[in-house]
Amino acid sequence: MAFGLLVSFLKRIHREGVVALLAIFFVCIPLCALELNGVNHLQLDEIGAKLGMQSRWVEKGKIKELKSEWTRLRFELHKREMIVNGLRVHLGFPVAGSRGKLYLSETDFRHQIQPILTPQVFGKPPGFHHIIIDAGHGGTDPGAENPALKLREKSLTLDLAKRLKAQLEKAGYKVTLTRSGDRLIALPERALMANRLKGDLFLSLHFNASGKSSVHGVETYAFTPLLQPSTSRGKLHPSDRKSYPGNKHDPWNELLGFYVQRSLKETLPSPDRGLKRARFTVLRDLNMPGLLIEGGFVSHSQEGRNIGSAAYREKIARAIASGLATFEKTANRLKGKAQ
Ligand SMILES: [Zn+2]
């Protein structure tokens, strides 16, 4: 059996050359897992070697960087995030240390690193043409408010949804809004509606508020993968062991979220609060990749004023559309459609 497998690999290398060699490398070279704090972890140096990246200490025993020609990943001991080319990506578990080496959880490698750096290991991404845009809140639920600036989240999300719809239609997509007026739709119904409409991609638009007036910035949420705690939770919860329809597209949620958050960070003056994870009801039952985007804090004086301006909301819409365009480019490349 093993001999037969070897012969078929050798035949494939003969036929397809380097591509087959790379495929075999990714499939066959296992990483050694070490259990730390009850969770399987992989050594960062080994992850770097598997990805063909150089590994170096930025601060010995504390901060490590993995680097290739195009990508820099930065990890800090005990921090629950990694920095990917300057962008914050929140991890399921903190970076761990043992005997002077740094470790990343196996699920973070699979759900946070591979979708961004080697999405080809997940096969072909789903195509997308029909985009469902969900304007958060509505009707009796105003969402976040800033009375001093006369800002109500439900109106701002609807305005942003219409702007994004116009931009995406101009780019050739079919777009449907979950609501086009001031009405409340129950959270589970929003995802079910997207499924009934047979959407290919779902975007829920929101604005944030905080009791602390200094808090501001943009953040993007993808549905929490199986066996990982959401960003707001410190450790695993029994619900983290349950798989939902929203998990079917885990790698594509992550890659899409990365591109959209990167585009928001590059376009807007707001601080990058990162790509986060949550089991939001609007994302839980989706049959398609989806994101929830928080376009800034209405409670912050400057960011609130920005959000109140139509030109700024147009800018947010452009940033989201640009993130989607990058995702489509990558998806086409993975499907072998690239020129
Ligand atoms: Zn909201």
- Cα(293) to ligand 1 centroid in Å equals 9
Q: How many CB atoms lie within 10 A of CB 126?
A: 14
- Cα(214) to ligand 1 centroid in Å equals 19
Which range of residues forms the domain containing residue 102?
A: 13-120
pLDDT of 144 higher than 70? yes
How many domains does the structure of the chain reveal? 2
Residues 6+ apart with CB under 8 A from 339: none
3 domain-assigned:
no
Q: Are 201 and 154 in contact (CB under 8 A)?
A: no
CATH number at residue 310: 3.40.630.40
- Cα(207) to ligand 1 centroid in Å equals 5
State the alpha helices, DSSP H only, in the chain: 2-16, 18-28, 44-50, 106-108, 114-117, 153-170, 187-196, 250-267, 281-284, 301-307, 310-334
**Nearest Cα residue to 91 out of 65, 73, 67, 69:** 73
Do 167 and 314 lie in one domain? The reply is yes
Q: Which pLDDT value is given to residue 4?
A: 47
Q: Are 120 and 171 in contact (CB under 8 A)?
A: no
> What is the percentage of the chain residues whose pLDDT exceeds 70?
90
Q: How many helices (H) and strands (E) does the chain have?
A: 11, 17
- Rounded Cα distance, 119 and 44, in Å: 19
205 domain-assigned:
yes
Mean pLDDT in the chain? 91
Length of the chain, in residues:
339
Q: Are 317 and 323 in contact (CB under 8 A)?
A: no
pLDDT of 86 higher than 60? yes
Q: Is the ipTM of this complex over 0.95?
A: yes
Query: Which pLDDT band holds residue 29 (cuts at 50, 70, 90)?
Result: low
- Rounded Cα distance, 339 and 244, in Å: 36
Q: Decide which of 63, 89, 120 is a domain's last residue.
A: 120
Q: How many CB atoms lie within 10 A of CB 168?
A: 21
- Which 3 state secondary structure label does DSSP give 68? coil
Do 243 and 284 lie in one domain? The reply is yes
Q: Which tens digits make up the pLDDT trace of 280-324? A: 999 999 999 999 999 999 999 999 999 999 999 999 999 999 999
Do 103 and 154 lie in one domain? The reply is no
CATH number at residue 34: 3.30.457.10
290 domain-assigned:
yes
- Cα(206) to ligand 1 centroid in Å equals 4
- Cα(278) to ligand 1 centroid in Å equals 14
- Cα(154) to ligand 1 centroid in Å equals 8
Q: Are strands 54-59 and 39-43 parallel, antiparallel or unpaired?
A: unpaired
Query: Which pLDDT band holds residue 337 (cuts at 50, 70, 90)?
Result: low
Q: What are phi and psi of 94, to 5 degrees?
A: -65, 155
Do 312 and 293 lie in one domain? The reply is yes
Q: Which tens digits make up the pLDDT trace of 58-67? A: 999 999 999 9
8 domain-assigned:
no
Do 181 and 299 lie in one domain? The reply is yes
195 domain-assigned:
yes
Q: Under the phi-then-psi rule, with left for phi > 0, alpha for psi from -120 to 50, and beta for the rest, what region is 30?
A: beta
